[in-house]
Amino acid sequence: MTNEDARTPASVQGEKSQEAGKSIGWHKAYVEGSRPDLRVPVRQVHLTNGQSVTLYDTSGPYTDPLAETDVRRGLPPLRENWIIARGDTAEYAGRPVRPEDDGIKHTSPRGGLRNLDAVFPGRPRQPRRSRDGKAVTQLAYARRGEITPEMEFVAIRENVSPEVVRDEIAAGRAVLPANVNHPEIEPMIIGKRFLVKVNANIGNSAVTSSIEEEVEKMTWATRWGADTVMDLSTGRNIHTTREWVLRNSPVPIGTVPLYQALEKVDGRAEELTWEIYKDTVIEQAEQGVDYMTVHAGVRLPYVPLTANRKTGIVSRGGSIMAAWCLAHHRESFLYENFEELCEILAAYDVTYSLGDGLRPGSIADANDEAQFAELRTLGELNTIAKRFNVQTMIEGPGHVPMHKIKENIDLQQEICDEAPFYTLGPLTTDIAPAYDHITSGIGAAMIAWWGTAMLCYVTPKEHLGLPNRDDVKTGVITYKIAAHAADLAKGHPGAQEWDDALSDARFEFRWEDQFNLALDPDTAREFHDETLPAEPAKTAHFCSMCGPKFCSMKISQDIRRQHGESREDIEEGMAQKSKEFAAAGNRVYLPIAD
């Protein structure tokens, strides 16, 4: 996104190479706000024609050559002073971390990864929460008319006035996920009035992957443009993995507390209790999780509605809650204790992501009774959350054919008072496992155009396995395309400048500029060099696709050279000829009647 802000970013000297040895022609820069400790990172692309384009940057300090980062110490607590200055929160001892938090029983033979190497060394810090019932959420501040440093930060990022940011948050049309225990993040906002955001899921599973891999996936995902990251770890060392991810993440982190709670009862859904769940939520809130998916809309009476579905319940959380409800023949403990849960989240400014546990898992199940029954309940819960000043977004499907997509966003906006919609895809067909980043990228672009605020990415491995580093990159790039295509369709101010800058570079054969402006400069350059590797080709007025004689852009330029640059020039030379045609009614053939 081109930064429209008048203030010129304070450029950071020196180029950062994206991968060993590979220079990518852009600088990390910062736009300063009203105070010295409010510096908004941007990605400044320097063009060979002397101009520069400023793009939205999610990569954090890792791409700043002047910043010293150490994953064992974590990122600097950017927001700490802002939080302390508000004086409405206080540190406290916090709950003790137990081996169970990492899925390790006292009786467990192996100690898992819980050893000195695995435990995050970091900096000593106590958890923080609201002081004597004070409202400490960005929603509460916005309602009070306060513009926080976080709000000013996103206003600069989005090129809108801080007042617009405050308005949207106060109205519940946008959320600014920022747990008081996650001071490391660079604030960002999620709402239809702003740039469409992309979430990347990471997380080890019981089957594979390690702590180090997950931290690396997180920094890798944000480097390519992920605006938030969800840690969906389900195996051992959940607590420890999350700690490493949180302390090193420049973007808000989301989780599904139910996963860890289930680990605490050895995966036996029926043994889950409100107490275990609540303890897990507090554990994660103290660590700094910014938003939590809560499947409180999966109610006992809705479970039968899924019985005749082709693919039943495909949400992990949804299936777990459905199993619990049926096992006890009781209403969901999440639904019954929702108000108490609101009080907990409010104390840390954890944002709700109300989960769509009954989303369709196949084209056949799209927009069915179960899905919309849950959506209506999410609308009810959204109203309750707002009473407690808890920021809230609503999760959406899933698998939906194109002609049924719009109904999803329209219903959600109506039922949930325009709360931000956060959708997974949707996938527009089921026939292409290994290409579901594409089947879903199509639906994602469309639903974002129609108002979805954040898109949860889908990788090529969806339905098949755990995504690796390459899959994460492919998923993020695909979804950045969908998000930007939607920004264009929504006419988001400044969105098209990025396209225009790249198209100008293309028409003028500034190959290096095309590469550097590309979402993925490395791959663009690599593809070009496959067939025309030579350095001269970087300035050639053609590529191997059409060759010199057939390059339409080259011919177009020749035309302009020969007949003048402007339309007027060309028209002048053709005025006479054109007149003749006008006289002939611009037709060569006469009607059959003649």
Candidate list 98, 403, 469, 541; residue touching its own copies; CB under 8 A: 403
By C-beta, is 181 or 280 nearer to its own copies? 280
Interacting residues of 527 by C-beta distance below 8 A, sequence separation 6+: none
Beta carbons of 19 and 519 less than 8 angstroms apart: no
Q: Does 478 bind its own copies (CB under 8 A)?
A: yes
Cα–Cα distances in Å, from 556 out to 475, 547, 550, 562, 563? 36, 15, 11, 10, 11
Per the listing, tokens 């990492």 go with 102
Per CB under 8 A, contacts with its own copies among 178-217 are 205-208
Extract the tokens encoding 232: 């969906």
- Does 399 belong to an annotated binding site? yes
Extract the tokens encoding 555: 């011919």
DSSP letter, residue 570: H
Per CB under 8 A, contacts with its own copies among 425-444 are 428-435, 438-439, 441-442
Phi, psi of 47, deg, nearest 5: -90, 155
Per CB under 8 A, contacts with its own copies among 282-311 are 299-301, 303-308, 310-311
> Number of residues in contact with its own copies, rule: CB under 8 A?
145
Per CB under 8 A, contacts with its own copies among 507-566 are 507, 514-515, 517-520, 523-524, 526-528, 530-532, 543-553, 555-560, 562-566
Candidate list 363, 416, 454, 458; residue touching its own copies; CB under 8 A: 363
Closest by alpha carbon to 508, among 537, 549, 541, 546? 541
Candidate list 362, 368, 406, 494; residue touching its own copies; CB under 8 A: 362
Strands 10-11 and 26-32: antiparallel
Q: Does 482 bind its own copies (CB under 8 A)?
A: yes
CA atoms within 13 A on the CB side of 213: 16
Q: Does 322 bind its own copies (CB under 8 A)?
A: yes
d(CA 140, CA 391): 9
Type of residue found at 20? A
DSSP letter, residue 52: E
Q: Does 49 bind its own copies (CB under 8 A)?
A: no
Beta carbons of 126 and 91 less than 8 angstroms apart: yes
Per the listing, tokens 């949707």 go with 426
Candidate list 245, 346, 415, 502; residue touching its own copies; CB under 8 A: 502
Q: How far is the CB of 371 from its own copies (least distance, A)?
A: 15
Residue 29 forms beta bridges with which residues? 11, 42
d(CA 170, CA 147): 11
Candidate list 42, 347, 445, 447; residue touching its own copies; CB under 8 A: 445
- Does 356 belong to an annotated binding site? yes
- Does 98 belong to an annotated binding site? no
Per CB under 8 A, contacts with its own copies among 78-107 are none
By C-beta, is 66 or 402 nearer to its own copies? 402
Extract the tokens encoding 420: 């931000």
Q: Does 19 bind its own copies (CB under 8 A)?
A: no
Give the binding range for its own copies (CB under 8 A) out of 77-85, 119-127, 150-158, 422-430. Answer: 422-430
Binding residues for substrate: 201, 230, 259, 295, 315-317, 356-359, 395, 422
Binding residues for Zn(2+): 399, 463
Binding residues for [4Fe-4S] cluster: 543, 546, 551
Binding residues: 201, 230, 259, 295, 315-317, 356-359, 395, 399, 422, 463, 543, 546, 551
